[in-house]
């Protein structure tokens, strides 16, 4: 099939590369000429395991191209997949200007039947606005081409996006047009040969499903974090509690780990946008307002623990931070809990030395004007001259470090573990002051 992807951000690039890998001819459109040039030179703008190899082999095979030519992109594929950003507005609502601009471009240039596939995360009712935008452009030039609008939200986890796309647990399709539905079924057939994973529903249900999924996961995270804080007060161990409730098949073990709060490009934005949609519909979601408040508070927990140990005035002290990205296997710093911790440490007068296996370049750019923040090139280098260590992201290389070397390099053998990577008793036996989340210190 010939497919057009509008937007070469996280969703668009992964989707385009994986579709090309099954033999499709994919045209990736982006209006950012510098990004398109980089992609055509083989440089990938995001860190995502396995993605570079997929893009490279499909570029070499001629199955994926990157361009800024809007007219050519609309002419290329019957399926026009919109995967542009929907950043939050000041009121928390999703900004649809890029989605609607892409829809208008299709209406302006289409010369026959097209299916506009919304892959961007958008509020309920966006398909109606996309349909109106295309119809308006067709009317302006007196054209009468048929078209359909389908909702096909993505469910890709950063750090495992290629695997998620190639082996999806579900494919949500919102469509009220049989012709469009069949085209989308054909598109996804190679990814569900084992059994049918495609769930057909109304367009509005598909739009809501994406928000509901992310909101549910965010809720589990915030609930476990609040339980962890309670466990500390009551002398319980949140890890034991996690195993106890996770064994219930109605609950399960996923997303039950306590930590320093959620971040990234999806959960914070989608929780806000769903709340905004609910308010506009006259049915506010009080649970999500609590989830958001709990998450913002949780991002401050590590800083609070550090000040409780070293005092409110941290002037003259330096703290090592392991993990900057909001989760492992990505370089994404958006809404990352590490940024809240660093801000708290700086506000208390401290300096910071930080390390992340993937996000060093992004972090150096972010903190280039902050002389008290240094980005190290290795985990051990990060420790030099530091009073204590804070762990924010659970990268694999942090799970079994050289503890003797940690003790040697740190002025105070103290670990503030925002991901509960180590057993408290084992850390204490090695001579560390150990401050986990929701576990007896």
Structure-token match 């399926």, residue found: 79
Q: Which of 266, 318, 382, 386 is catalytic?
A: 266
Beta sheet of 147-151, edge-to-edge order: 64-67, 25-29, 2-6, 79-82, 114-118, 147-151, 171-174, 198-201
Cβ proximity of 17 and 38 under 8 Å = no
**CA-CA distance, 153 to 208, in Å (whole number)?**
10
**Furthest C-alpha separation in the chain:** 78
266 is catalytic: yes
**CA-CA distance, 114 to 137, in Å (whole number)?**
14
C-alpha torsion angle, residues 171, 45, 21, 108 (rounded to 10): 70
**CA-CA distance, 253 to 251, in Å (whole number)?**
7
Structure-token match 């909001």, residue found: 326
* Two tokens, residue 68: 């800024």
Cβ proximity of 411 and 202 under 8 Å = no
Cross-strand partners of 354: 321, 375
Orientation angle between helical segments 286-298 and 203-234, nearest 10 degrees: 50
CB atoms within 10 A of CB 145: 13
**Strands, E, within 142-238: which ranges?**
147-151, 171-174, 198-201
DSSP string computed for 64-129: EEEE--HHHHHHH-SEEEE-----B-TTS-B--HHHHHHHHHHHHH--S-EEEEE-S---TTHHHH
Positions marked catalytic = 266
């Amino acid at each position: 099939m010939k497919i057009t992807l509008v937007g070469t951000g996280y969703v668009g690039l992964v989707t385009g590369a994986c579709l090309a890998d099954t033999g499709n001819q994919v045209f990736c459109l982006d209006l950012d000429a510098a990004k398109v040039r980089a992609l055509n030179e083989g440089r990938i703008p995001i860190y995502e395991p396995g993605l570079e190899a997929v893009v490279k082999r499909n570029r070499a095979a001629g199955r994926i191209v990157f361009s800024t030519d809007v007219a050519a992109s609309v002419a290329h594929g019957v399926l026009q997949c919109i995967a542009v950003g929907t950043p939050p507005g000041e009121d928390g609502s999703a900004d649809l200007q890029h989605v609607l601009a892409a829809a208008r471009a299709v209406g302006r240039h289409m010369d026959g039947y097209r299916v506009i596939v919304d892959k961007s995360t958008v509020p309920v009712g966006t398909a109606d606005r996309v349909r109106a935008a295309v119809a308006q452009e067709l009317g302006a030039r007196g054209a009468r081409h048929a078209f359909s609008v389908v909702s096909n939200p993505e469910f890709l986890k950063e750090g495992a996006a290629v695997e998620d796309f190639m082996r999806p647990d579900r494919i949500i399709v919102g469509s009220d047009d049989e012709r469009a539905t069949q085209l989308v079924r054909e598109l996804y057939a190679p990814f569900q040969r084992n059994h049918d994973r495609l769930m057909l529903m109304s367009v509005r249900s598909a739009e809501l499903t994406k928000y509901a999924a992310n909101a549910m996961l965010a809720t589990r995270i915030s609930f476990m974090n609040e339980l962890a804080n309670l466990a500390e007060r009551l002398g319980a161990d949140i890890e034991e509690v996690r195993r106890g409730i996770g064994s219930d098949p109605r609950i399960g073990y996923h997303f039950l780990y306590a930590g320093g709060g959620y971040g990234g490009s999806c959960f914070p934005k989608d929780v806000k946008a769903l709340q905004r949609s609910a308010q506009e519909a006259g049915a506010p979601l009080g649970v999500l307002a609590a989830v958001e408040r709990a998450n913002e508070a949780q991002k401050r927990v590590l800083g609070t623990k550090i000040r409780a140990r070293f005092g409110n005035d941290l002037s003259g002290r330096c703290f090592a931070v392991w993990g900057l990205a909001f989760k492992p296997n990505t370089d994404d710093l958006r809404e990352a809990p590490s940024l809240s911790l660093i801000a708290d440490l700086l506000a208390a007068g401290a300096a910071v030395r930080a390390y992340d296996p993937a996000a060093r370049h992004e972090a150096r750019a972010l903190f280039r004007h902050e002389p008290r923040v240094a980005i190290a090139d290795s985990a051990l280098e990060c420790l030099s001259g530091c009073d204590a260590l804070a762990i924010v992201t659970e990268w694999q290389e942090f799970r079994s470090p050289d503890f003797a070397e940690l003790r040697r390099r740190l002025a105070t053998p103290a670990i503030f573990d925002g991901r509960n990577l180590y057993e408290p008793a084992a850390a204490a036996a090695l001579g560390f002051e150990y401050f986990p989340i929701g576990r007896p210190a």
